[in-house]
Each structure stands twice: as structure tokens, then as C-alpha cells.
Chains A and B, each alone.
Chain A
Amino acid sequence: MFLLWSKIGVKSVGGGQAVQFYAFEHMVTELKWLTYDEWVQLWGLSQIVPGVNVIAVCALTGLRVAGMAGSVAALAGLMAPSVAATILISAAYTQIAQLAGVHAALRGMFAAVVGAALVLNWRVGRPIVKAARARSRIALTASVAIPVVAGTVVAEQWVPVVYVLLGSAALMSALWIQKPR
């Protein structure tokens, strides 16, 4: 578990989707430690617990395959090499931060980070808006309005972010209780 998840973590430059891909390849397709149904179930659960989904999936695969010890080993495998690499890259960055050109490189890279985040949020948000549309007009309106309003409120620093998140979640929760059409 430890070795497998370190391999998955280190291979996965570029975040969650890459991790998902490699983890599925190894655990379901090659080793058959988990069935496809179990895998889907784990991902579903990882979506509803707070925080980084991949960490939840990692801990759950460990738990299913080898109990609590497996869970700890899987987590250590995912986190230790990746955290160490992140610290090393950060440390290397602080050494070169003052060099000419680094600032310009960062500026270019950050524009691409914003673009990639836009793609990611679109991919995550669009299915929710579609589901809301199938439910009711008011759910559809809320699902479109929430990102816009939340973005504006956070940009203008009107209230703490926590209230924006909890308020939106409570609103959608209330709208979702109603049975779909």
C-alpha cells in the first residue's frame, strides 16, 4: 500500500485527475484489489467528506484492502514523498526568487494556473447546474447565482468566506430536499 500510493502520488504531476487515473489503473485494472463498483463507491464517499478528495480515496482504499494499518500506510505513501517534494521545490524557489527572470516566469505561469482553474471549476460546476435544471427553475437560478454572488462577495471582502460557503450550502440543501420533477 505504501509503495503503491507513493508511486501514484509521485507520478501525478498536475493534481486530482491524474491521481484518479493512476490509482484506478493500479488498484482496479492491474491488481484487482478493488472491484469497479467498490471504486465508484469510494469516489462517491470522497466527494462528500471535506477536504482533498484524493486523500480520502487513498485512506479508504487502504482501509478496504488491509484495514486501519493499510489506511495509514497508504496515506503515508501518498503524502510523505509529495510533501517532501513540495518543500524541496519551495526551498529551491526561495533560493532563486531574486534572480532576474524568475518573477516574469512566475507571472506567465500564474496566468496559466488561472486558466487551468477555470477549466477545473467549469468541469465540476456544470454537472451541478445541469442537475439543478432538471429539478426546478429556482434550483437552476440558485446554482447559477451562487458562484457569481459568492465570487463578488469574496472579491469585495464583505463578509468572512466561511459564511458565504455555509450560506450557499444551506440554500442548495434546502432546494434539494424537494423531490426532483
Chain B
Amino acid sequence: MAGNLLFFLLLLKASFLSSGGLSNLPSVHQDLISRQWAHEGQFVEALAIGQLAPGPTGLWVVALGYLTRGTAGALLAAAAITIPPLLALPMDRVYRRLANHRAVEGFVFGLILAAAGSVMAVLVGALKSYGVDAVTVFILAASVVLVGHRVLPRGLVLLLSAAVGVAVWAPR
């Protein structure tokens, strides 16, 4: 139980310092890996499930909660990501003043930039744990082009990549 509470608080902390999507990943990754509450493979699985499942990308932590702690973990994760954005409700009235404040804008921009760099660092680290070969680089580059230029919807790109993965790497 104590473990569940700390798990919830760690996710809550990460969510309070994030600005959407995957930006809570570096903090969650560091905290859970260092306690051996999750391993690299579970992050990969959770991120993939989060992309396939409906709803906001931020729900990847719900998949991580399930994979590491079962249904209780999933529900705790859902609560941890729902609470911080609710700050918007009391802020709705004071927003106009605050939004135009340059220091606030700069603060958010700094968070976004630092999160962008560290998210990519964690993702590339996880990718390396599988071993990187020419096919990995090809899939990555192809998804940048296809998603970046909106050629195909993201879900379809993921499924095609899974098919390529099976064709190339699956044991026969």
C-alpha cells in the first residue's frame, strides 16, 4: 500500500512539472527505474500501448501503471495525470492577466524546451536497449516523414512499423 501511495505521488510530481503528452516521461523514468519498480521494456510497451489506445497520449502512464502494478496502478496513474490540469478551473478568471505576463510565458517555454530534449534522450536510450540497426533507422526516418508531412495517420504508421518489425526481426 505504501508503495502504491509513493507510486501515485511520483507520477503526480512528474505530471505537475510536465506540459502534456510525453513530457512527464523523463521524471517517471528516472524515479521508477532507480527504485526498480519498472524496467526499460515496460516503458517501451507502455509508450506503444499509449499511442495505440484512444484518448490523449498522456494516457501512456495508465498503461505503465497496469503493466507494473495491475489495475490499481492504472487507476492511480489516471488520477495522477487528471489532477494537475484541473488547476485550469480556478485560473480561468485570472487567466487574461497571467497569460500576458512575460515571466510566466518564459517559464512555460523553458519547461517545454527542457522536456523536449530530455524526452528524446529517454526515448533514444530505450530504443538503444533493443539494439539499433539499419531497419530501426529506416522505420524512424520513415515515420518522421509520414507523420511530419501528415501522409498517413499516426496509428496506421505504428501498425505498418509493427508489421515491418515482425517481417524483419521475428524468429522463424
Binding site for B on A (CB under 8 A): 9-16, 19, 41, 44-56, 59-60, 63, 68, 71, 75, 78-79, 81-83, 85-87, 89-91, 93-94, 97, 100-101, 103-122, 124-125, 128, 131-132, 143, 146-155, 157, 160-162, 164-179
Give how many B residues have a beta carbon under 8 Å from the other chain's beta carbons: 107
A94 to B73, CA, bound (A): 15
| Contact status A116-B154, CB under 8 Å | yes
| Contact status A104-B117, CB under 8 Å | no
Given contacts A15-B56, A87-B66, A115-B142, contact A109 B161 (CB under 8 A): yes
| Contact status A44-B99, CB under 8 Å | yes
Question: Main SS of the interface on chain A?
Answer: helix
Measured CB to CB, the nearest residue on chain A to B136 is A111
Which listed residue (A15, A49, A122, A150) contacts B84, Cβ 8 A? A49
Given contacts A48-B104, A100-B170, A161-B26, contact A108 B15 (CB under 8 A): no
| Contact status A131-B109, CB under 8 Å | yes
A125 to B113, CA, bound (A): 6
What A residues does B98 contact at CB under 8 A?
48
| Contact status B118-A150, CB under 8 Å | yes
- Give, as a whole number of angstroms, the nearest-CB distance from B85 to chain A: 4
| Contact status A50-B19, CB under 8 Å | yes
- Give, as a whole number of angstroms, the nearest-CB distance from A73 to chain B: 14
Residue B9 CB within 8 A of the other chain: no
Measured CB to CB, the nearest residue on chain A to B108 is A48
Interface-centre pick from A60, A78, A91, A173 (highest chain B CB count, 10 A): A173
| Contact status B21-A154, CB under 8 Å | no
A-B contact pairs, 17 of them (CB 8 A): A9-B55, A41-B96, A48-B108, A52-B18, A59-B86, A83-B59, A86-B63, A87-B62, A89-B53, A106-B162, A108-B169, A109-B51, A117-B119, A117-B123, A150-B113, A151-B120, A154-B30
Which listed residue (A12, A60, A165) contacts B92, Cβ 8 A? A60
A12 to B88, CA, bound (A): 22
Measured CB to CB, the nearest residue on chain B to A80 is B78
Which listed residue (A116, A171, A177) contacts B110, Cβ 8 A? A171
Mask, B5-47, CB within 8 Å of A = 1, is 0000000010111111110101101100000000000001111
- Give, as a whole number of angstroms, the nearest-CB distance from B6 to chain A: 15
What A residues does B18 contact at CB under 8 A?
50-52
Known: A115-B141, A168-B113. 20 other contacts (CB 8 A): A9-B54, A14-B155, A49-B85, A51-B24, A81-B55, A82-B54, A86-B62, A101-B170, A109-B158, A118-B120, A119-B147, A124-B116, A150-B115, A154-B117, A154-B118, A160-B30, A161-B118, A164-B114, A170-B107, A175-B106
What A residues does B83 contact at CB under 8 A?
51
- Pick the 6 closest A-B CB pairs, nearest first: A108-B165, A176-B106, A82-B55, A172-B110, A115-B143, A147-B117
A124 to B141, CA, bound (A): 19
What B residues does A169 contact at CB under 8 A?
106-108, 110-111, 114
- Give, as a whole number of angstroms, the nearest-CB distance from B79 to chain A: 10
